[in-house]
Structure 1
């Protein structure tokens, strides 16, 4: 009773002190990752701070919507998910999906992010494969058959890209921020640490031109894209999809590149184009493995070519991890130029 009475007397001061203490903790945490970066997502067994992202629309989760239930279960701090999409060809044994999952498992403290990954499949066989190895799988039903490999810029490929774009808008309408990653992206470190907290959109870039905030000449890569859910980003997506009528033979990424300047002004959205030092790709590889978060098999056509070169990247990563810490401090290590798509000729290196 003595402790309780004392607590009641001191309660107002305790609340004020707690509030100030919380501000100090948040200040320290944001300093650690940079003043304008998203906080790093912690493993579930750790105490995770609230991800500092605010939406200006209410979260709508219909009770009977299976997608809403999956998002609710997978969400980071209630309002953000990681998304990827695949089909039977990409999710067959020893194909891209297995390689994609392995990247998380051999990466640096990112395996827990799989607890927040929703795998969207476009065919039944891909869905069945997903359920055998992953917790959160969603079958996106379509009128077309997307089970086989869709070659770049074919009609099937274009249709699939625009269907994906419409599905992403649905995620925003349900009130969730998302980071979409293609399955041909290997994750080695947490890229959320490289996304500015002020960004409505953050894109990986095939080539980086030195300024993350400069919209031109930067070109967005829709295969690695963060979007914050808000009324303005939903309207952005609606108008983006309407533009397909004007560009029937182009995919969503190319159309976005044409309208990005106008749309960013019209909808007052903040765009970020991420540095390839951290979100690298076959178009422009990072020179320093110690900084790389992700590697995307861009500038590379064909499933088999992507598989061969991504496996080589994974081998290089494993070799790097085996190097003693003291050796890493003395020398800079980089990925080798080898494979079908990865070669120095005609490639801008950074």
Structure 2
């Protein structure tokens, strides 16, 4: 009889210790999860980037649209429709749609993006800046929209994502991946080749996320303060022309891509 009581007592103690251990592990895991959430919050941009870059080596294709790009331009089509159609018609481009993130700068463009079931992110604007509708080339609003785009790409790079940026008026008739050297930090399109200073065009570029490119984009964005009336493309051209003085390695790893490629 005493032996039975001892066995029962030991069993109760063992069960109690088991549940105590399980409770400790559960509470510790909750603590770790809470800590992770506190340190690395998943906001709307991170959520959109994560899904768009899934299975693509943390590389995301980004384009930016506003109301003007989702407005019908003829035969019921929009500029965004034509852009997406090129992925369907191009050589080896259809799978790339899975990695496209559309950045909308107004509610109309965002609603249209969601309707098409794309990876969508609505870029919030502050200071009363209105980026809705068509912006005249080199107008104050146009220049502001280009700088907001640069700041967004900088944010994406800081989060560890590689970027292929494309204007929405660039038709993807074939996959550019075979032409890109993924070991280079940045590759950017040019309007013409063999021209002094290279006529770069920020309508298409590929940039890897690392300390050098983050530093480049930060310096590029900071230069807006002393570049009144200049569009971001011209500021970058000037920056790259003298990059050897402040980033010794960068000028040897940039590459220029003719847009007709």
Q: Alignment partner of 2:154: what SS?
A: helix
State the shift of 1:262 in Å.
Answer: 2.0
User: Counterpart of 2:90?
Assistant: 107
More off after superposition, 236-245 vs 112-121? 236-245
1:258 matches 2:238: yes
Partner deviation per Cα, 1:229-262 (whole Å, 9 max, x = no partner) = 0011111111111211221110110001111122
Partner residue of 2:148?
163
Partner of 2:119: 136
Partners of 2:63 and 2:165 within 8 A in 1: yes
1:71 is matched with: 49
1:104/1:264 CA distance change after superposition, 3 Å: farther
The answer for unaligned runs of 5 or more in structure 2 is: 1-38
1:245 match: 225
Residues 125/264 of structure 1: CA separation in 2 closer, same or farther (3 Å cut): farther
Equivalences, count: 213
Deviations 1:240-289 (Å, cap 9, x if unpaired)?
11211221110110001111122255222221101x3xx31xxxxxxxxx
What is the deviation of 1:110? 1.0
Q: Is the contact made by 1:180 and 1:226 (CA closer than 8 Å) also made in structure 2?
A: yes
Name which one, 1 or 2, has greater alpha-carbon Rg.
2
1:130 Cα deviation from its structure 2 partner? 0.6
Counterpart pick for 1:196 among 166, 181, 190: 181
Residue 190 (structure 2) pairs with residue 205 (structure 1): yes
Pair 1:233-2:216 in alignment: no
2:64 pairs, out of 39, 62, 85, with 85
CA distance in 2, matches of 1:86, 1:265: 36
> What secondary structure sits across from 2:242 in the alignment?
helix
The DSSP-based 3-state class of the residue aligned with 1:242 is helix
Q: Is the 8 A contact 2:135 2:141 kept in 1?
A: yes
Contact 1:201 1:272 in 2 (8 A): yes
1 or 2, which has the higher strand percentage? 2
Matching residue of 1:305: none
> How far is the alpha carbon of 1:180 from its aligned partner?
0.2
SS in 2 for 1:184: coil
Query: 1:178: which partner in 2?
Result: 163
Whether the 8 Å contact between 2:52 and 2:119 is mirrored in structure 1 is yes
Quote the Cα distance in structure 2 between the aligned partners of 1:248 and 1:172. Answer: 25
Stretch moving more, 63-72 or 258-267: 258-267
| Residues 65 and 104 in structure 2, CA contact (< 8 A), matched pair in contact too | yes
Greater share of helix: 2
Pairing partner for 1:116 from 99, 110, 116? 99
Quote the Cα distance in structure 1 between the aligned partners of 2:210 and 2:186: 11
1:265 and 1:90 map into 2 onto residues whose CA distance is 40
Q: CA RMSD in A?
A: 1.6
* Residues in 1 aligned to 2:215 and 2:88: alpha-carbon distance in whole angstroms: 37
- Corresponding position of 1:219: 199
1:145 to 130, 146, 152: 130
Give unmatched runs, 5+ long, in structure 1.
1-60, 211-215, 281-291, 293-350
Secondary structure, aligned partner of 2:103? strand
Please tell me whether the aligned partners of residues 197 and 241 of structure 2 are also in contact (alpha carbons under 8 angstroms).
no
